[in-house]
Structures are given as C-alpha cells and as structure tokens.
Structure 1
Amino acid sequence: MADIHVALLGFGTVGKGVYETIKVHQARLKAILGKNVKVAGILVRNVEKHQLQDEDVLLTSNFEDIINLPKLDVVIEAIVGREPGFSYLKKSIERGCHIITANKEMFAYHGNELLDHASRYKVAVGFEATVAGGIPAIQTLRTLLNVNKVEKIEGIVNGTSNYILSKMREDGLAFQKALQTAQEKGYAEADPTNDVEGYDAFYKAMVLSQIAFGEQPEWQRVTRKGISGVSHSQIRLFSEWGLRVKHVISLEKGARGISCSVKPVLVGPSHPLYSVEGVQNAISIDADIVGNIILQGPGAGKFPTASAIVEDLIQLNAGQGCYFEREETIRFKKDPQLNWVILSKQTNLFIPESLEVIGRLEDKALFVKGKEKDIDKLLEVYPGLKIYELYGQINNGFLQKTQLSSVSLERKVAVPKGI
C-alpha cells in the first residue's frame, strides 16, 4: 500500500495547521483514503527559524529540492501574494502533482490558467481554502448544487472587517481603536490595508464568481469599498434604527453580465447576514430549486483553514477535484431597484425623479429606492454624501409615508448640473 506524499509550500499559520492536522488525524485519513498521508517536504524562507521533530521531512528554502523529491503526489501552497506561489504550482502540475492552494489573491488572478494547465496534465486542483476558511462554500457550489442554477451570492468573507464593525457597534469604539484591538488579538495584520479596504474580500468574490457563473466580472467595473470610512457616529445612528453595518460581497448575473460589489451595506433584521458577528464568515446562496442556503462558520485561522485544505485532499484523491463549467444561469432584469439610505441634514438636497423617496427620518437621513446608476449620478453632484445600500426588510414602523411632505417640495428645486 503506497503512501500519499505531500509537500507544503509555506510554513506559517496555515502551513503549520495543515502539518499538525495531518499528524494528529493520520488514523482517520488512512481509514478514508486507504493510505497513509506523509508530509515529505516543507518549503520555508529561513530554515534556521523552524524545527521539526520528524527527521524524515525535508525542510528547505529551495523549491527545486521540493519538486525533485523522489516521491511527490500533492503540493499544498500557502504563500502570500501572486508570486512565487503561481510559478511553483505550475511546475508542480508539470511534475504530475495534484495541487491545493489557500492563496486567494494568486487564485483570483491565475485560477483559470492553473485549472487549464492542470487539465492538460490530468491532475486536480483544490482551492476551498481561498474563500471563507473552514466554510465549505466552494464544495457546495461545485458538487452539491449541480442541478440548481445559482441566482445570487452574498457574503461576509473577511473576519477582520466584520470583527471591527462588531466592536464599533457593541463597545462604542472608534474605527482606529477597534482596529488596534483586532491587531492585538491577531485578527488584523500590522498593515491591515488588504482587509479593511476590501481587497481580500474582492479576491474571494472573484473566486466565487468563477465557480458560480463560470466567469468573473470585469474587475474595473466592480465596486470595491472598505470600512475605514465608516464612523462610530454612523454605526450608533444605524443601531438606533435597528440596522447593522456589514462588509458584504454581492454577486449576481444579469443581462449585461455579472454585477459585483464589495462594500459596507446596511442590513436589516430579516436579512440572513444580520446576526453574523465577530470574526465569523457567512455565505448566502440563492438558487432556483433549493431556495436560500446559509453557510456560516470560522472564516480564517490555523485549523479552520487547515480543515478546508485537508478536506480538499480527500476530494482530490476521490477523483472529485476536476473543475467544470457551470451551465448558463437564468437572466435577471437589468439594473434592479435597490433600497438606499442617504445620510444628509440638507433640506435643499435635490433628489431626481428617477429615485423614489420612501421617507425621511427627522433631519438625519432619506430612504430612497432606485437604480445604482442613479445613485452614482447623485454622488457626482454631491460627492460628500454618505450613501449606504440597505439589505433586508424594515418592519419597525419608522418609515412613514406621512414624512414625505418636505421631500416633495425639494423636487421643485432647480436641477443641479450633472443630474
């Protein structure tokens, strides 16, 4: 009975988690696979900084030592950044190895190329860990929703941002203080830009789009906003209305292609993402047969991410790691009407006829319904406006039609240039 020989590229938090998981759960893996799983080599930057009790494992800073191992079946990559991970995985494929990656940035850029390359060499690719850590979002879309046509995906996929927003609301902290707390707990990096400005969530959205719809949106057309502009005073005001700020990815395929946004939104109590707090992640999938599915759990960390990688290892060896194109999804109407909250005390703010005013709450905000393109035009005229998309239904009665008298008068103001 031959062993399954595995190499780890990167030995940080994720790499160590995979190594420990394989060692601790060896009996369970053997029962499932019928073979032992052996870590044959580990690639690190600095060999002197690492110590292993297992003398049979090659510890090296030279990738050529890894790729030239006499026995090598699977290469697991957990390196930050597009390179050198991409080049290493291409060479691993050419060696005839299955590959598994947790690198969402690299895979967002180069996933299709790796998948095509793997197909030519008849090996498999696992990438569950690129999105939402231990939550099986990729496997659900790839293997469990084949007959279903995915209509929409929404998700909280960055635990750092979600933790910061939760602390700001629960403890009344300003953004910088909440970020500092996240860094002290190890949830945020010393340079948190990738998380708090939405890049991490953006890459994950691209991976999900590829799986759900067979393609990615044009990157330059994706709205990407982080949470650094969300103030404590805004969160406190929204809390009074029963709303919560969440950093959400949204994917939907329509007549003009895939629409995608990565931004802070307001979530009402009826929305499935409303109760997702702290470092938790959640993916909401709407499909035509099953309806709505919610997957929630730890989105990052040593063992949740290792769990996703090891589960990929099982799938690859069961012959279920091959990528496939999804059928064309159903088409949606163009430019749907969305709900928006406009934070403004201006009494002479002009609201174009294309936006339906639902109500005004005192002198603090307007609630409107309309298309995103009309909101964009409004922002061109009033670039300082704070506008949030509103998810979920509002049932607490504070939006009343009787509040519209002053709003109706505003439409008589001369139209500002640009609207």
Structure 2
Amino acid sequence: MSVITVGLLGFGTVGKGVYETIINHQERLQAILGKEVKVAAILVKNIEKHDFPDKDVLLTDDFQKIIELPKLDVVIDAIVGKEPGYTYLRHAVKRGCHVITANKEMFAHHGSELKSLAKKHNVSLGFEATVGGGIPIIQTLKKLLNANQVERIEGILNGTSNFILTSMREEKLSFESALKIAQEKGYAEADPENDIEGYDAFYKAVVLSELIYGKAPVWEKSTRIGITDITPEQISIASSLGLRFKHVASLERDQKGVRCTVKPVLVGESHPLYRVEGVQNAVSIDADIVGNISLQGPGAGMFPTASAIVEDLIHLETNDFPEIFAEGEGEGIEAALPVWAMIGNLSNLELPNGFEVISYSSDNAVIVKSSEDAAASVAKDDLIAYQILGNHHFSDVRTDQVQPV
C-alpha cells in the first residue's frame, strides 16, 4: 500500500491531537484514502521536553530537516503566531507539498498569499481548523458557494468569551471571577487578551470573509470590542428583557464593502445563537436560496481541532478557493437600521432626532432604533448601547418615558 507522508509542525495540544488521531484511526483513513497515513517527522521547539516513543518518527527542532526529507507529501501546521509558520508553509508549498493549518492569526494575515502560492504550485491548502475547531464551517461554506450567495454570517467564534458570559449570567459572577474560573479550567490562557478583547474572533472572521466574499474586510475600518466592560448588572437587566449577551463576530457585504464587527451584542430566544452556551462555538449563515443554516459544536481543544485537520487531510484534492464577487461587482445590500438596548442610567437622557423609541421596558433600559453613530453619540460611562440582533418582541411599550427631542 502506498503512503501519504506527513510532516507535523508543533507538538503541543493540537499537534498531539493530530498525531493520536492519525495513529488511532489509521484503519479508517486507509479505507477512505486507499493509502497509509504516516507521520514521518515532528517539529518541536525544545527536543528535551519531549519523550517520544516512536523511533521511526524524526523529532527535530530544525525545520530544514523536515523539508529536506526524501518523501514529504503533506505539511500540517499546528504552531501559533504569524511566524515562523508562514515561512515554513511557503517553503512546503514551493517544494510541492499539500499544506494544512490551524493557525488563525497567521492565516488571517497571510491566507491570500498562501492560496495564490498553492494555486501556482498546484497543491491544496486546508484551513478548516482556523475558524471553528471541530465545526465544519469551511467545508459547509464551500458547498453553499456553488449556488448560494451568502448574505450574512453571525458567529460565536471564541469559546473562552462565551464561557465567561455564560458563567456571569448563570452564576451571577463578576467578569473577573468568571475569567479566573475559565483560567482554572484551562479555557483561558494566563494572558487572555486575544480571547476577551476579540482578536481571536476577528482573525477567524477575516478568514471567513476572504472565503465568502473573495476579500478581507478593511482591518482599520472594522469594529473589535471586547467583553471586559460587561457587568453583572447589565446582564441582569438584559435577562429581564428576555435577552442574552453574546460576543459575536458578524460579516455582511453592504454598499460600502465588507463590513466586519466583533462586539458584545444582545440576542433573543428566536436567534440561532441564543442557546449557544459555555465553551461551544456556533455560526449562523444566511444565504439567498437556502435561507438560514446554523452550525454548533466545540470550537477548540485537542480532538475537535485535530478532527478538522484530519478532515482536511481527507479532502485535500477538493480544497479549492472559490471567488464569489469580482472586484467592484454587485451593489451589496442596504443595511437596515439597527435596534439597540441602551442600558444604564437613563436620568436626563435626551435623544436627538434620528432615534425611534421602540420600548421603555424598565427603569434601566430603553430600546431604540438608530444608526450606529447615533447610538454611540448618546452613550456615556453609565449608559451603554448594545445592538440587538434578530427579531425580538418587546411587550411592555412605554414610550412616554424617553422621547426624541
């Protein structure tokens, strides 16, 4: 039986998951591929920290020894950071190897270049694991793109922030207490900035944007807001309105181009993301023919991420990169006026023209419809505007309390 020879870059949590999955599911892989899958070499940062039992596998801290192997079919990137992963994968592609990566930061910055290089050298590039861990978002979108135009994506793309918000609501915890629990459980790093400030979710949104719309959003014009300012009091007020806080990445192509936001929002019971709790990730996709499709599952971890990488290994020959919109093609859609929950101190609140009061549901919240700029203009330290996604019915309408002036 012929062999698919793999070079594995990185042997941390994800790298070990990939190696164990290949070893433990070898019979299944052979049945599907008709070939044996063999990890021939593993790149590590410090050899002395690893006691590797299989002497047939080259364990090295020198990438050059891997790229110069006599036979090398696939290089799997399971390391973090923009470099050296980008450089390593460029070398692998130029050698003629198929490549698979789980590195969302690197791929958000360099995915376009790697796709072009892979196409030039007639090799495949798998990146399912860069976005949803074990959720098959990329493959699903590739299937949708054959006939559907994706109009909008809303996703919970970071399990750490979702766990914190869930814990704050269910256990009535402060942000700091919920973060500490997330760190104790291994859901959050010692330095959690990438997760709680939205960088991780933003990188994933960039990858999705390039796949769906053929281009990335303009980074400087995108919105990225973390969850550190959300308080138990705000969560309690939102709950009284039938709403839940979620840290959501949104992509939409409007008349100005690709619009990307990562920020705390509120969702009601009818929204697909309402019941996505704990460390789960989910993506809600709106397309013009099929309508709404929602995918939910584990967004990170050893075996969910390994699952995505091994699925890419199986689909190597079909990992193409469809382009939906040519540059300048299409007018996009005109964005509807957003709905906001303004939570906090409403005393002496005066709403200028451009606001429509939908509901005054409590002494601490007013529901309005306005532009994003208008909502931001009246927000202050003790009054914050959070966008409400989807349709939500507010039964207690009391517009006598706050009126536009």
Q: Same fold (TM over 0.5)?
A: yes
Cα distance in structure 2, aligned partners of 1:344 and 1:233: 9
SS at match of 1:292: strand
1:167 maps to what in 2?
167
2:309 maps to what in 1?
309
Any conservation in 2 of the 1:336–1:371 contact (CA below 8 Å)?
A: no
SS at match of 2:82: coil
Give per-residue Cα distances to partners, 1:315-368, cap 9 Å, x unaligned: 00xx20122212468644434211101123233222121111112233211110
SS at match of 1:404: coil
Cα distance in structure 2, aligned partners of 1:57 and 1:163: 38
Any conservation in 1 of the 2:135–2:297 contact (CA below 8 Å)?
A: yes
Any conservation in 2 of the 1:335–1:372 contact (CA below 8 Å)?
A: no
SS at match of 1:406: coil
Cα distance in structure 1, aligned partners of 2:267 and 2:279: 17
**Is 1:73 the equivalent of 2:65?**
no
1:404 to 396, 399, 402: 399
Give per-residue Cα distances to partners, 1:86-124, cap 9 Å, x unaligned: 000000111110000000000000000011111111111
Q: 1:29 to 1:55 in 2, by over 3 A?
A: same
> What amino acid is aligned across from residue 386 of structure 1 in structure 2?
I
Q: 1:119 to 1:332 in 2, by over 3 A?
A: closer
Cα distance in structure 2, aligned partners of 1:144 and 1:278: 28
Any conservation in 2 of the 1:149–1:330 contact (CA below 8 Å)?
A: no
SS at match of 2:245: strand
2:113 maps to what in 1?
113
The worse-fitting range, judged by mean Cα deviation, of 248-257 and 362-371 is: 362-371
Cα RMSD for the two superposed structures: 1.5
Any conservation in 2 of the 1:358–1:404 contact (CA below 8 Å)?
A: yes
1:243 maps to what in 2?
243
Any conservation in 1 of the 2:6–2:37 contact (CA below 8 Å)?
A: yes
2:388 to 387, 390, 400: 390
2:53 maps to what in 1?
53
Cα distance in structure 1, aligned partners of 2:9 and 2:57: 13
Any conservation in 2 of the 1:151–1:330 contact (CA below 8 Å)?
A: no
> What amino acid is aligned across from residue 21 of structure 1 in structure 2?
T
1:322 to 317, 320, 341: 320
1:131 maps to what in 2?
131
How many residues were matched structurally? 403
Any conservation in 1 of the 2:39–2:57 contact (CA below 8 Å)?
A: yes
**Is 1:2 the equivalent of 2:41?**
no
Shift of 1:378: 3.2
Cα distance in structure 2, aligned partners of 1:162 and 1:405: 36
> What amino acid is aligned across from residue 143 of structure 2 in structure 1?
T
Any conservation in 2 of the 1:224–1:261 contact (CA below 8 Å)?
A: yes
Any conservation in 2 of the 1:356–1:370 contact (CA below 8 Å)?
A: yes
**Is 1:36 the equivalent of 2:31?**
no
Aligned pairs for 1:6-405 within 5 A: 6-316=6-316, 319-327=317-325, 331-379=331-379, 382=380, 385-395=383-393, 397-398=395-396, 400=397, 403-405=398-400
> What amino acid is aligned across from residue 179 of structure 2 in structure 1?
L
Cα distance in structure 2, aligned partners of 1:268 and 1:307: 32
Cα distance in structure 1, aligned partners of 2:144 and 2:5: 28
Cα distance in structure 1, aligned partners of 2:323 and 2:31: 32
What TM-score comes out, normalization by structure 1 length?
Answer: 0.93
Give per-residue Cα distances to partners, 1:228-271, cap 9 Å, x unaligned: 11111111221122210000011100111011110000110110
Any conservation in 2 of the 1:96–1:123 contact (CA below 8 Å)?
A: yes
